[in-house]
């Protein structure tokens, strides 16, 4: 299949590489030169804008930071919409506001183009492995056409409802992840300042009810003080902002989400917004004046 891919960041680049490995023809575009060159060296073809990507592809994937970026890439002059023909499909795998996905889909529909909103979870490691969890919104028939392709980037792809449902599901996911990281951080700092080795505590509780995928992925990073980004704090701030906005629009208070949002905002003020979201532990460490690190 001829696939267009726009957005070659931490997540998009490995996802695009997995599509190349699966044997697809790939046309790519990104404002950054380096990842485009890397994909071209791996066998892709570069395009100068979204319109050119769409003209050369049967299906276009966008993987961009937030709603305004996707709207611009699709709807602006020289964007994807201009190069789309009836019957083509846009799969937006960015994490954006559900309402923005619905707005973009409505504009595409005027031209006979279908869309799926299909955000992902799993961070850079699972993007590299091709084992992402993919949450999808859109028509069932379109989803079934795209499902084999999605499963070349992910371990699972679940249709959650109509357009916007994928991103609503992703917001729910991001709430659970954020609160889980906060809980792990709070627990590890407590254990460390109480005189315990937090790594021993981790080993003791990981197999019980407190154990989780988040703890397994982020616990070792916290214990090592390794906050190299797989998923940056500033991106999680963006997702929580979309969650809070959506909650307010439909009348769902999100008190715990707002608490973690303020913790992340505090880290942003401290210049740590580029850290991995496991760096949330630094908020607790600053309050307690004690680091939760494994003992040498």
Q: Which of 53, 50, 55, 44 has its CA nearest to residue 17?
A: 44
Give the torsion through C-alpha atoms of 96, 125, 91, 240, to 10 deg.
-10
pLDDT at 29: 98
pLDDT at 82: 97
Domains of the chain, CATH where assigned: 2-162 (3.40.50.720), 168-288 (1.10.1040.10)
Residue linked to tokens 């709207």? 71
pLDDT at 152: 98
**Angle between the N-to-C axes of helices 33-41 and 12-21, in degrees from 0 to 180, rounded to the nearest 10:** 10
The H or E element that residue 14 is part of is helix 12-21
d(CA 2, CA 166): 24
- β-partners of residue 89 are 59, 114
d(CA 171, CA 174): 5
Which segments in the chain show pLDDT lower than 50? none
Residues recognised as catalytic: 170
Tens digit of each residue's pLDDT (9 = 90 or more) over 1-11 = 899 999 999 99
- Taking all residues of the chain, what is their mean pLDDT, rounded to a whole number? 97
Coil, strand or helix at 91? strand
pLDDT at 296: 81
pLDDT at 222: 98
DSSP string, 160-218: EESTTHHHHHHHHHHHHHHHHHHHHHHHHHHHHHTT--HHHHHHHHTTSTT--HHHHHH
Write the CA distances from 170 to 87, 100, 221, 227, integer angstroms: 27, 14, 23, 23
Within 10 angstroms of residue 163's Cβ, the number of other Cβ atoms is 25
């Amino acid at each position: 299949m001829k696939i267009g891919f726009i957005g070659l960041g931490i997540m998009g680049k490995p996802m695009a590489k997995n599509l190349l490995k699966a044997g697809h023809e790939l046309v790519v575009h990104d404002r950054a030169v380096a990842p485009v060159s890397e994909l071209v060296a791996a066998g892709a073809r570069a395009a100068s804008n979204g319109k050119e990507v769409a003209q050369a592809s049967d299906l276009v994937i966008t993987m961009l930071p937030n709603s305004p970026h996707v709207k611009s890439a699709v709807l602006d002059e020289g964007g994807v919409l201009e190069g789309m023909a009836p019957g083509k499909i846009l799969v937006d795998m960015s994490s954006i506001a559900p309402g923005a996905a619905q707005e973009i889909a409505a504009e595409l529909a005027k031209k006979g183009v279908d869309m799926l909103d299909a955000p992902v979870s799993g961070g850079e490691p699972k993007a590299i492995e091709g084992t992402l969890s993919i949450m999808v919104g859109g028509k069932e028939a379109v989803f079934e056409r795209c499902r084999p392709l999605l499963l070349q980037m992910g371990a699972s792809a679940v249709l959650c409802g109509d357009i916007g449902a994928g991103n609503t599901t992703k917001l729910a996911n991001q709430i659970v992840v954020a609160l889980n990281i906060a809980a792990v951080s709070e627990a590890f700092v407590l254990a460390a300042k109480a005189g315990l080795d937090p790594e021993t505590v981790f080993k003791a509780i990981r197999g019980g009810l407190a154990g989780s995928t988040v703890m397994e992925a982020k616990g070792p990073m916290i214990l090592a003080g390794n906050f190299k980004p797989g998923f940056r704090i500033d991106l999680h701030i963006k997702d929580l902002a979309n969650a809070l906005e959506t909650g307010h629009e439909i009348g769902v208070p999100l008190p715990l989400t707002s608490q973690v949002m303020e913790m992340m905002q505090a880290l942003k003020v401290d210049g740590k917004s580029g850290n991995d979201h496991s760096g949330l532990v630094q908020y607790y460490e600053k309050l307690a004046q004690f680091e939760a690190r494994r003992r040498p």
